[in-house]
Amino acid sequence: MTEPVLTFTDRGIYCPAGDFFIDPWRPVDRALITHGHADHARPGHTHYLATDAALPVMRHRLGEITAQGIAYGETRQIGGAQVSFHPAGHIPGSAQIRVEVAGEVWVVSGDYKTTPDGLCEPFEPVRCHSFISECTFGLPVFKWHDQRSVASEINAWWAANRAAGRFSLLGAYSLGKAQRLLSLLEPQGPILTHGAVEATNAILRDQGYTLPDTTHVTPALNPKEVPGALVIAPPSALGSQWARRFRPASTGFASGWMRLRGIRRRRAMDRGFVISDHADWDGLHAAIRDTGAENIYVTHGYTDIFARWLNERGWNAQVVPTEFGGEEEDSAPAEAAE
């Protein structure tokens, strides 16, 4: 029997024919990386390969790395495997990785979202025999609304806060979500950013992604001079001393997890905006169907439930253990398990 194109090891997803790993969680010689989030792009590998669009943020986060870039759709031969990277629609630069060995094709989705957001490269279905799919939001309760309607909710919230003389403090993950929200805002006054968000903004602007003007919050900034401003910061910063200079304020949080009422309540935010950089229930199914794959391996999220659902509908699905999750929207907040 010939070896599978990809295998699951304790260091990560491995390709024996090409002797490389995809998004490995322990240091390896050659790592192909789907995108810059910390659970996928980890430090310590000898060689990195990622899309040209993903590399600048990876270099910023990982420091000195030996890395090569690859264009979307470009094919490269690594040992006995042919690899190419295709847009995953998750965050700018994110990719699904296609691996072909002797005519058999496997695709690793990384994290993905099937609906275009106007900022990152739109998701592209890739035909394959076996598909390794994330399923962060693999429950029927997760159905996203059109992003235009979420954008108008956020813009209306900001306008109402301004009218009432309040700041709008919006919690969003610093890579991906923050920039997507920025691109959806109708400028109605100053937009201020936490350092973690602004550093990423600067890198993406340099790459040619279009973002509105933002002002980095420094100690010199006097909140009185920017009344009614909207402030974007990572969720962890919102409850900290850093955020206390902006008073009075209304707080909001933007995440797919805001779909769950219990989590909304526990986060003690004034507003929860349901918007995610991962596929919802319907998006996961559409993506899986469009690959034409017979074999589906599911990772991170509601894996057991999702694999069972697929098996009942004729796919050959199984759960594979990975160590993804832990950054950004990837992992369910502890409250989701209750």
Binding site for Zn ion (CB under 5 A): 37, 39, 111, 324, 330
Q: Which two tokens stand for residue 323?
A: 């160590």
Asked whether 284 and 111 are in contact (CB, 8 A), the reply is no
- The dihedral of CA 4, 314, 94, 252: what is its sign? negative
The smaller minimum CB distance to Zn ion, of residues 111 and 117, is found at: 111
Of 152, 150, 172, 149, the closest CA to residue 160 belongs to: 152
Kindly state the smallest distance separating residue 34's Cβ from Zn ion, in Å.
Answer: 8
The smaller minimum CB distance to Zn ion, of residues 157 and 301, is found at: 301
Beta bridge partners of 61: none
The smaller minimum CB distance to Zn ion, of residues 54 and 230, is found at: 54
The smaller minimum CB distance to Zn ion, of residues 144 and 324, is found at: 324
Kindly state the smallest distance separating residue 119's Cβ from Zn ion, in Å.
Answer: 15
Kindly state the smallest distance separating residue 304's Cβ from Zn ion, in Å.
Answer: 18
The smaller minimum CB distance to Zn ion, of residues 117 and 330, is found at: 330
Query: With b meaning 16 or more CB within 10 Å and e meaning fewer, what string describes 72-89?
Result: eeeeeebeebbbbbbbbb
Residue 2, SS3?
Answer: coil
The smaller minimum CB distance to Zn ion, of residues 48 and 324, is found at: 324
Kindly state the smallest distance separating residue 300's Cβ from Zn ion, in Å.
Answer: 6
Number of residues in the chain: 338
The smaller minimum CB distance to Zn ion, of residues 272 and 325, is found at: 325
List the 191-193 sheet strands across, edge first: 215-216, 191-193, 230-233, 167-171, 249-254, 271-273
Kindly state the smallest distance separating residue 315's Cβ from Zn ion, in Å.
Answer: 22
Kindly state the smallest distance separating residue 312's Cβ from Zn ion, in Å.
Answer: 26
* DSSP assignment string, 170-219: EE--TTTHHHHHHHH---SS-EEE-HHHHHHHHHHHHHT------EE--T
Kindly state the smallest distance separating residue 250's Cβ from Zn ion, in Å.
Answer: 28
Kindly state the smallest distance separating residue 330's Cβ from Zn ion, in Å.
Answer: 4
Of 174, 74, 54, 50, the closest CA to residue 120 belongs to: 54
- Give the helix/strand (H/E) hosting 290: helix 281-291
Torsion region of 234: left, alpha or beta (phi above 0 gives left; psi -120 to 50 gives alpha): beta
The smaller minimum CB distance to Zn ion, of residues 126 and 226, is found at: 126
